């Protein structure tokens, strides 16, 4: 047995794999679908699911016969996020950022090849960007994702390998194009998204740094593309200021 697996509990590994599979699918999965994804027998997967269900980590709908993540997952996630200090540090700054720009502001981290929205402050305009905390999106298709990848080039091969799917006509789908874009973002200090995930939306994001100078998250705003054409320079300035304030709260010294 290898050094990395000698203490591994295979049943627990299967349970974690089931949770991760359910997390990627809206509406849940049936026992048959989940067993197929995990490449395990339905008997094994059923026992894993029943254990998770009894402890609140999984819910089972007897009508649709589908399994979804339970509220216990949300409870643990909320506690973990709260203990990082990120949300607490960013929340008042997000409120300010939405007030001065009118746009939806958000606190985002990298999760694999995706971005994960930790906290959101809804915009004040009629045409605004809606997203819920806990939602995910492809990192290469978002301003926040691109700005974090610019400071984490070691994550780029994983993103490219997962596939740069065209989400809109302006989505970056070439590996070389993505790397050039990330170099420019690193130089500019902010990332801009011009309809790369949703055609009518734009965004600006900047990195957040901790006391060790590590990029640990991103802060940004998103809204109607027309506003980002007219007010782009002001938006970039406000997002940079938000980035500096949150990073300072995390112990970063420029």
Q: Which tens digit of pLDDT belongs to each residue from 195-244?
A: 999 999 999 999 999 989 999 999 999 999 988 988 999 999 999 999 99
Mean pLDDT to the nearest integer, 113-130: 85
Q: Which tens digit of pLDDT belongs to each residue from 90-116?
A: 999 999 999 999 999 999 999 889 999
**What count of other Cβ atoms lies within 10 Å of the Cβ of residue 2?**
6
Structure-token match 């996020």, residue found: 81
Closest CA to 22 of 62, 59, 55, 50: 59
Q: In what order do the strands lie in the sheet with 114-121?
A: 136-138, 114-121, 104-111, 215-224, 201-209, 191-194
Q: What is the CA radius of gyration of the chain?
A: 20
Q: Which tens digit of pLDDT belongs to each residue from 31-48?
A: 999 999 999 999 999 999
**Domains, the chain, with CATH or none:** 10-72 (1.10.10.10), 85-249 (3.30.450.40)
Per DSSP, the three-state class of 47 is helix
Crossing angle of helices 42-54 and 10-23, in 10° steps, is: 80
Tokens of 250: 């995390």
Residue 2, phi then psi, degrees to nearest 5:
-70, 160
Closest CA to 141 of 120, 164, 112: 164
């Amino acid at each position: 047995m290898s050094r990395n697996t000698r203490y591994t509990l295979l049943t627990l590994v299967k349970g974690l794999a089931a949770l991760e599979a359910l997390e990627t699918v809206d509406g849940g999965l049936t026992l048959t679908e989940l067993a197929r994804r995990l490449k395990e027998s339905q008997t094994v997967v059923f026992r894993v699911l029943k254990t998770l269900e009894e402890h609140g980590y999984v819910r089972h709908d007897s009508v649709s016969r589908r399994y979804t993540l339970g509220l216990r997952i949300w409870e643990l996630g909320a506690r973990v996020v709260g203990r990082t200090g990120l949300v607490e540090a960013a929340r008042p700054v997000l409120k300010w950022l939405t007030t001065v720009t009118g746009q939806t502001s958000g606190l985002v981290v990298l999760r694999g090849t995706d971005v994960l929205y930790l906290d959101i402050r809804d915009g004040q305009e009629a045409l605004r960007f809606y997203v819920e905390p806990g939602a995910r999106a492809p990192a290469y298709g978002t301003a926040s994702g691109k700005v974090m990848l610019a400071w984490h080039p070691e994550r780029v091969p994983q993103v490219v390998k997962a596939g740069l799917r065209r989400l809109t006509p302006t989505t970056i789908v070439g590996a070389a194009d993505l790397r050039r874009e990330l170099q420019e973002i690193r130089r500019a200090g902010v990332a801009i998204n011009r309809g790369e995930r949703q055609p009518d939306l734009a965004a600006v994001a900047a990195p957040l740094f901790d006391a060790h100078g590590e990029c640990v998250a991103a802060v940004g705003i998103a809204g109607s593309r027309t506003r980002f054409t007219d007010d782009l320079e002001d938006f970039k300035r406000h997002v940079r200021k938000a980035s500096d304030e949150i990073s300072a709260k995390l112990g970063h010294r420029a």
